[in-house]
């Protein structure tokens, strides 16, 4: 019997969504590697952000990520970077998500090993976050990123914000990186038929948990200048407890206060099937529906 190998998903985010040459240099690192599969590449010029989705063994992921960080550090200069998505580093965040035959503690151990090697190899300050965090105050990525690249120099001077690995000063061009292990996250954006950023920001404040909204929801307002509209950009950190349809319906409800319609929505990167099935069951009014009734789910058993 063939031994089943441990697999993780990894979704590194790079602060470059416009320069196709730089994007290709980063993505090329992940191609043609044994034990590693490049599942998805999404480059967003408005956010000026590259999101790469990988799945592979720990042994294959580690060297590929170390190499990709090197490419990003060499080619991305945050002093010249602007975009709608908050960012603090050329490699902004590297999350590890257990998929098969690997526990969360093992994923945490891998994230710490990668963080240490990245810090030592490229003299890059690295914070551990989510399940890998060294303290409860560092679990939330938004708390670590607050201040972004421009405010990190002052932040790292504070005793409570010393990096977990690497120098206690910002890399002059590549900034700061966060690395950690977490559960699957759904990146979901709702586009509004409006060009008023203040409306999107007001709705985001109502929708996100910190504003009294949905429990496992993080949200910000974003301007999509090329399309002439604004967006409520959402991260769902536990889609089984806060569903995608709940986000859409709450955004719609809040948008009505401003006389604004929802123009559409989008998923960024890959999404667990269960997250979409949950919303499909809601909108179709299905009773007692389960994943066991999905043909593709049964075929993958």
Residue 1 in this model has a pLDDT that exceeds 60: no
- Residue 159: is it exposed, middle or buried by C-beta count within 10 angstroms (0-12/13-18/19+)? exposed
DSSP 55-119: EE-HHHHHHHHHHHHHHHHHH--GGG---SS--SBSEEEEEEEEEES--HHHHHHHHHHHHHHHH
Q: Tell me the CB-side half-sphere exposure of residue 160, using CA atoms within 13 A.
A: 6
Q: How many Å apart are CA 221 and CA 199, to the nearest integer?
A: 8
Q: If you average pLDDT over residues 82-92, what whole number do you get?
A: 93
pLDDT at 2: 45
Catalytic residue among 47, 75, 85, 171: 85
Residue at token pair 């954006």: 189
Residue 150 in this model has a pLDDT that exceeds 80: yes
Give the SS3 label for residue 165. strand
Give the SS3 label for residue 133. coil
Give the pLDDT confidence of 251-289 residue by residue, as tens digits. 999 999 999 999 999 998 888 888 899 999 999 999 988
Taking alpha carbons only, the member of 83, 72, 89, 70 closest to residue 127 is: 89
Q: If you average pLDDT over residues 68-84, what whole number do you get?
A: 96
Output the average pLDDT for the chain: 94
pLDDT at 274: 86
Residue 16 in this model has a pLDDT that exceeds 50: yes
Residue 173 in this model has a pLDDT that exceeds 90: yes
Annotation marks residue 75 as catalytic: no
Which tokens belong to 107? 């994923």
Residue 126 in this model has a pLDDT that exceeds 60: yes
């Amino acid at each position: 019997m063939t031994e089943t190998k441990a697999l993780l998903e990894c979704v590194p985010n790079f602060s470059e969504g416009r320069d196709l040459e730089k994007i290709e240099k980063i993505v090329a690192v992940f191609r043609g590697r044994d034990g590693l599969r490049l599942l998805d590449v999404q480059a967003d010029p408005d956010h000026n952000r590259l999101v790469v989705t990988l799945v592979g063994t720990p042994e294959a992921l580690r060297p590929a990520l170390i190499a990709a960080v090197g490419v990003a550090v060499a080619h991305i200069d945050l002093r010249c970077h602007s975009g709608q998505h908050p960012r603090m580093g050329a490699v902004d965040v590297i999350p590890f998500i257990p998929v098969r035959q690997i526990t969360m503690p093992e994923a945490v151990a891998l994230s710490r090993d990668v963080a240490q090697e990245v810090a030592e190899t490229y003299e890059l300050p690295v914070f551990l976050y989510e399940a890998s965090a060294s303290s409860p105050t560092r679990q939330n990525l938004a708390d670590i990123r607050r201040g972004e690249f421009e405010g990190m120099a002052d932040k790292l001077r504070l005793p409570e914000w010393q990096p977990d690995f690497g120098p206690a000063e910002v890399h002059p061009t590549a900034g700061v990186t966060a690395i950690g292990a977490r559960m699957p996250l759904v990146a979901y954006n709702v586009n509004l038929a409006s060009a008023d950023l203040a409306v999107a920001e007001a709705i985001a404040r109502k929708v996100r948990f910190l504003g009294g909204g949905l429990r496992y929801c993080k949200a910000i307002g974003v301007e999509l200048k090329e399309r002439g509209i604004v967006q409520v950009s959402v991260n769902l950190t536990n889609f089984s407890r806060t569903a995608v349809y709940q986000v859409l319906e709450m955004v719609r409800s809040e948008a009505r206060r401003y006389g604004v319609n929802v123009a559409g929505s989008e998923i960024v990167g890959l999404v667990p099937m269960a997250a979409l099935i949950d919303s499909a069951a809601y909108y179709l009014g299905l009773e007692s529906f389960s994943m066991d009734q999905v043909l593709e789910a049964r075929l993958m058993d």
